[in-house]
Chains A and B, each alone.
Chain A
């Protein structure tokens, strides 16, 4: 495999929703790469377009209103947007798998978990009967479920949230995908289970040399698990960098604000800092830089109010979309 081509490369992706009130630009001109065997964390507030990006990659944007209007999604150099539905079906669950936020509702209540785990194997690899079943048991053991031979015959309602998320991971990984999209995999779980699940994901990623695109609003999760971080604000990427760089020296005011609003150990504070204002309505984004009404610099800067800064390389391996970022130039 060519070392230079990233496994997944998204170029200028725009996904819009056409609703009665107008056009919701859920994802606009988004570009990023996920390298082979690495983890990219996509960080942002809720409603900023993280999940829609993930669904666009899977080709699962809700057909009723949404559409990918522009861009390319290159998976191993092939544009996924040009593939037919049946070609996409062969990729989904096989080469690109996804786990969801809500383990309580993502499993079909009327089937045993074994049935659901083997579905992907049956669909994609033609393994049947006993072999598929023993594969399901093997996968359950891999994700750390005790007594898998018995558990595989149980129904989702007999399991706890953490166990169900483990089952979801087993489902997603049973075809050894090369890319796993994890859409807020730990948001619905409590903190101790969160740590276990993330640990499990890391371990399995190492075993299988799999790339992970992890969508989260939790900077702590990103810091612990990711190699690279892409920060999303109001449908745009505002900053990408390695995880160390972003925590050491955030360049975009939004990233700086996010980091400041995190509680720090050993620091006495009455209240946590927050970013003033709220996320703009995706139907009516502000003119110029979308962050300028909330930005300490941009709110009084003429250029920020009228022009939208493009994402640009500001230092080797890191990009930012802010006129005032160090190294942005003009």
Chain B
């Protein structure tokens, strides 16, 4: 065994192995860079907005035509390679701005749902008994209500000015509505995984060393299911992006920020008049992001799942 072999043997940990395998999948890596590009764009919009909201690169409100009355959207002009909408605003800038809206909402909603679902699922699975009964009761009740209806109900309520002085209206309302209603899946998953693992010998060994229950859950069990949380995160992200589009399509999102849902909603009435570019821009942005995330998420699952680790 030469020096190199010894070194690679030494460094092979679960994560190291996973990333090595992931790097070998060219298509997944292309998808990873697409997703990374979207994220970079979102971060750019976020930073640019906080520096100067009127910066022309992100100023989607700027009207490129003349006058305030209805103007026929144009596809190509000197300033608008991607066309304008019926208010004369740039489709390109709106679409790019929509990246930030979609990703911010999906990210915050994912974090919220994981923060609720993982501890609840872990506690239910580990302690069993009454704790389990209560958690299972809550999530079976919640999962009996159609998700879209539930999210819309939350969004409507959170948008109300009377709640927290209207601080939750707009974007926070959307991600809270999605996050608070969608932790059931991850909760169920983690509960099952913890039930499966809590009788394992290493948990008994940890108890024999004198670990407390919370230490066993957080230090011994959750790191063992961490790959499941990550995979779930990457897959639910896609559905949360779609949910954000649906909510803003229905007019429950932030009225003052462009979003893909709002673009689709506005473009749907224009489509019959042969104005296709606004609809195309928004749906293509969603399509490419969803596809890339899904493919990358699948590859991530294959690489992180210990049961599939033998695969080269």
Contact = CB atoms under 8 A, between A and B. Distances in A.
B208 A92 contact: yes
Contacts of A153: 10
Nearest to A110: B223
Given A150-B10, A155-B13, A158-B12, A108 B209 contact: no
Contacts of B128: 64
A155 B223 CA distance: 14
Interface stretch (A96-104, A209-217, A265-273, A322-330): A96-104
Nearest to B203: A108
B212 interface: yes
Contacts, number: 75
B9 interface: yes
18 contacts: A62-B199, A92-B207, A92-B209, A92-B210, A93-B209, A93-B210, A98-B208, A105-B200, A105-B202, A106-B204, A106-B205, A107-B202, A108-B220, A109-B202, A110-B224, A120-B209, A153-B10, A168-B205
Given A58-B208, A119-B209, A123-B209, A105 B224 contact: no
B306 interface: yes
Contacts of A102: 201
Interface in A182-221: none
B202 A106 contact: yes
Interface residues of A, number: 34
B223 to A, nearest CB: 5
B43 interface: no
A163 interface: no
Given A60-B204, A102-B201, A108 B210 contact: no
Contacts of A124: 210
Interface in A64-120: 64, 86, 89-94, 97-98, 100, 102, 105-111, 119-120
A93 B13 CA distance: 27
B250 interface: no
A154 interface: yes
Interface in B122-138: 128
A279 B220 CA distance: 37
Contacts of A155: 12-14
Contacts of B199: 62
A93 B208 CA distance: 6
Contact of A158 (B9, B200, B211, B306): B9
Contacts of A108: 202, 205-206, 220, 223-224
Interface residues of B, number: 24
Given A107-B202, A158-B9, 20 more contacts: A60-B204, A60-B208, A89-B210, A89-B211, A93-B209, A94-B210, A97-B208, A108-B202, A108-B223, A108-B224, A109-B224, A109-B306, A110-B224, A120-B209, A123-B211, A154-B10, A155-B13, A168-B205, A171-B205, A171-B209
A58 B199 CA distance: 16
Interface of B: 9-10, 12-14, 128, 199-202, 204-212, 220, 223-224, 226, 306
What does DSSP make chain B's interface, helix, strand, loop or mixed? helix
A107 B220 CA distance: 10
B10 A100 contact: no
B210 A100 contact: no
Given A64-B128, A120-B210, A171-B209, A100 B9 contact: no
A315 B205 CA distance: 39
A165 B224 CA distance: 21
B218 to A, nearest CB: 13
B219 to A, nearest CB: 8
A62 B199 CA distance: 9
Nearest to B306: A109
Contacts of B306: 109
Contacts of B209: 92-93, 97, 119-120, 123, 171
Contacts of A172: 208
A62 B202 CA distance: 14
A308 to B, nearest CB: 33
A119 B224 contact: no
Interface in A231-257: none
Nearest to B12: A158
B207 A60 contact: yes
B13 to A, nearest CB: 6
A123 B206 CA distance: 11
Contacts of A158: 9, 12
A62 B208 CA distance: 13
A325 B171 CA distance: 84
Contact of B201 (A58, A94, A106, A123): A106
